[in-house]
Structure 1
């Protein structure tokens, strides 16, 4: 890294903090902090949705996966249109009608306060771990590039995002997300062009070698539930994207913040669909890097050929091959992807704490002063806890792997309960509770059997991608059957009384 790269990196870091903090004067009410007073342009919300979806993990993991294997991960992107159709037709109008900053107000109206508490608690726990994990993984990438202390990177990054998120509210989050999304795309496009021009045989060589090595494959089309086939990834993608665009506070808050129903729908659609070509671009970079190092255009250290080190291939290329100045900009774009995700989690978590806990259980008629104090305090505390979680993950990769497996327990229960509320009409709280309990047991069993490697002993090896699929389906089916039989029972009683 040259001094100019370091300067560009710090100029970006300081600049984005000042820009985000500049919204402080427009951020004096709880409505401004959580919804931006519904004055945010649609294109900004759309870019913010896109930037929220793309974290620094995606920026590194997708090129790494394409480098080591093929384009099987792109099948996940192909499932997005299915989720987007459901989001635009059902989710967005529904949340705009409820008109609450919280995504979970509806569940209380549908099933009672227990549902709102359960889902909002799951969401907050998930966001705390998400902040910690992204800080930790982002620090790993920056440490590999700059050689800085991981703990210092986690603390500085966390505090930087806390500052502009607390001062600027949702407007700081979405506007900085939009800028970071643009930088991210520009950086990826530049890298793609640079690699293509730097290949000895030009772009044609890339496609020739990639096709010979089957690097563009989307995976097997066999109906096999034990491997990462096309169908397994596609079904998994539908469920995960329904979860993202249907119940995730990060997205729902943006739907409600839009200036009109039309802008909300367009923002959701464009923000989601933009990920498809961008993910393709990231995967293409990974394939291009494979050809780049296969043709001996440059040498790759042997340790980076380890599949467990694939996420480091793209950063290595950025540092070693790109010209001075561009390297700093690209590192800033990786950093931008992580910062946008963290800032979104801070603002949305504070919003949930205010609307689902403070105003619901502590002070139903809160003054603006009280509400702003809660939003500022909760944002700060959630950020600090996230930093502490990130620090606790240093050198504890087993805990990190365990969390990703166990997190599906929370997310699966949330999605299944919401779908049950949307697609059934009988007011059956007992059925909802039974469905959630059965679904969580299914997800926990599948997750724990993977975690403790019990599959061979138990005689099955279902792919981990299907955990959330089976768990969510179990919640919906059990709840639906309870509702169906209750309705049938009530109909029979009515007929008996009539006779």
Structure 2
């Protein structure tokens, strides 16, 4: 695949409905400090490009968990695959696709969806600015006085989730883990013909990510100023609902349809790939090696379609359970905090050192999750904000894994 298309596909998947709804809600509720995450995220993409991608291409893997099998063995791969299933099922959305194609079809679909939802977002900014008396001058005056244009939070405290250091470090680790160890996102880079192309794609996403994040933060700030000038008694108290409320109550019919299409495009850009990644990992990492080793391609295609349907039903159930949750943007990050640290730690163990064993990695990953659960429950008492959890999880997994040593470097065939 061309690296430019892969780049847009990654951006479309990252900028899911969480971004479309959650980022404006965060800016409406707070300020621009979410942008701090993007600075760390850019560093994380460089680490993926030059630490993980060369290892994946050398191993000629279909799923990234095959690399763990080549490097360590079966138990490590199975545990990582299970963690991926849990993370992706909880973090993904709920839209059932009418048809499921291969990853290349998904990428080109994502490109078109990226154009739709970004175009819709820019139209909203134009509409808001043209309907706020005084345009930018009014926005900067009202938002500036309330600190809603602040980008950097310099209040140092481990318990402050918006502190600059927290945002940058979490952005680095969260992106490193999500794009580097989550099959849903990493599968796109693996479609590039050469490792250099995949590196170009991932680094370019980091550059484009800044204007994308700023776009949706700006929508949130403009919405705040708009409703300050034009109070609405029916305005939702849940800030996650304010942008959708604005779309259906304020926009003209034609623009409203485009924005609703943008919301669906944002949702589908993440769901189509999530379903594909879940299905491919289920077939390649579980079904093929353990249930039916030798079968026709037609058989595996049929099983993958059934698997997609089952995952759809699970996703719908999870979405129904979580339908009343507030601050959906941060919920998505918190879900990843439980498992991404363990996944990142074991991948770093594989590419950085020659230590680590199959059984030792399982102990490291599972104990990491237990530690993170304990810290999450007691975070207010110990004064550590939740963004540190993915960092602690990665460091814990890596450190515990170092305690174990293989007799030789495992090089299984995938």
5 Å matches for 1:86-97?
Answer: 86-97=47-58
5 Å matches for 1:381-392?
Answer: 381-392=310-321
Contact 2:104 2:191 in 1 (8 A): no
Q: Return the offset for 1:176.
A: 1.6
Q: Compared with structure 1, are the counterparts of its residues 437 and 227 closer, same or farther at alpha carbon in structure 2 (3 Å cutoff)?
A: same
Contact 1:349 1:379 in 2 (8 A): yes
Provide Cα deviations, 1:278-331, integer angstroms capped at 9, x if missing partner. 01111011112222222x2x2233653x4xx11122122222322220111011
Q: Which runs of 5+ in 1 are unaligned?
A: 1-39, 136-156, 491-499
| Separation (CA, whole Å) in 2 of partners of 1:448 and 1:199 | 43
1:223 pairs, out of 146, 152, 156, with 156
Q: Does 1:299 align with 2:222?
A: no
| Separation (CA, whole Å) in 2 of partners of 1:408 and 1:60 | 21
Counterpart of 2:66 in structure 1 is: 105
| Separation (CA, whole Å) in 1 of partners of 2:115 and 2:193 | 22
Q: Compared with structure 1, are the counterparts of its residues 443 and 214 closer, same or farther at alpha carbon in structure 2 (3 Å cutoff)?
A: same
5 Å matches for 1:10-409?
Answer: 40-131=1-92, 134-135=93-94, 157-158=95-96, 161=97, 163-165=98-100, 168-228=101-161, 229-294=163-228, 296=229, 298-301=230-233, 303-304=235-236, 306=237, 309-394=238-323, 405=334, 408-409=337-338
Counterpart of 1:467 in structure 2 is: 389
Contact 2:27 2:218 in 1 (8 A): yes
Contact 1:354 1:375 in 2 (8 A): yes
- Which moved further from structure 2: 313-322 or 463-472? 313-322
Q: TM-score, normalised by structure 2?
A: 0.90
Contact 1:49 1:272 in 2 (8 A): no
Q: Compared with structure 1, are the counterparts of its residues 130 and 427 closer, same or farther at alpha carbon in structure 2 (3 Å cutoff)?
A: closer
Q: Compared with structure 1, are the counterparts of its residues 476 and 268 closer, same or farther at alpha carbon in structure 2 (3 Å cutoff)?
A: same
- Greater radius of gyration (CA): 1
Q: Return the offset for 1:265.
A: 2.0
Describe the SS at the equivalent of 2:25: helix
Q: Return the offset for 1:121.
A: 1.0
Q: Compared with structure 1, are the counterparts of its residues 392 and 291 closer, same or farther at alpha carbon in structure 2 (3 Å cutoff)?
A: closer
Q: TM-score, normalised by structure 1?
A: 0.76
| Separation (CA, whole Å) in 2 of partners of 1:270 and 1:261 | 14
Q: Compared with structure 1, are the counterparts of its residues 406 and 299 closer, same or farther at alpha carbon in structure 2 (3 Å cutoff)?
A: closer
Contact 2:240 2:326 in 1 (8 A): no
5 Å matches for 1:481-492?
Answer: 481-483=403-405
Counterpart of 1:13 in structure 2 is: none
Q: Return the offset for 1:241.
A: 0.3
Alignment RMSD (CA, Å): 2.6
- Which moved further from structure 2: 365-374 or 336-345? 365-374
Contact 1:95 1:255 in 2 (8 A): no
* Larger relative helix fraction: 1
Q: Compared with structure 1, are the counterparts of its residues 368 and 482 closer, same or farther at alpha carbon in structure 2 (3 Å cutoff)?
A: closer
| Separation (CA, whole Å) in 2 of partners of 1:186 and 1:397 | 27
Aligned length: 406
Q: Return the offset for 1:219.
A: 4.3
Provide Cα deviations, 1:59-87, integer angstroms capped at 9, x if missing partner. 11111111121111111111121011112
| Separation (CA, whole Å) in 1 of partners of 2:332 and 2:265 | 24
Q: Return the offset for 1:401.
A: 9.7
- Which moved further from structure 2: 382-391 or 460-469? 382-391
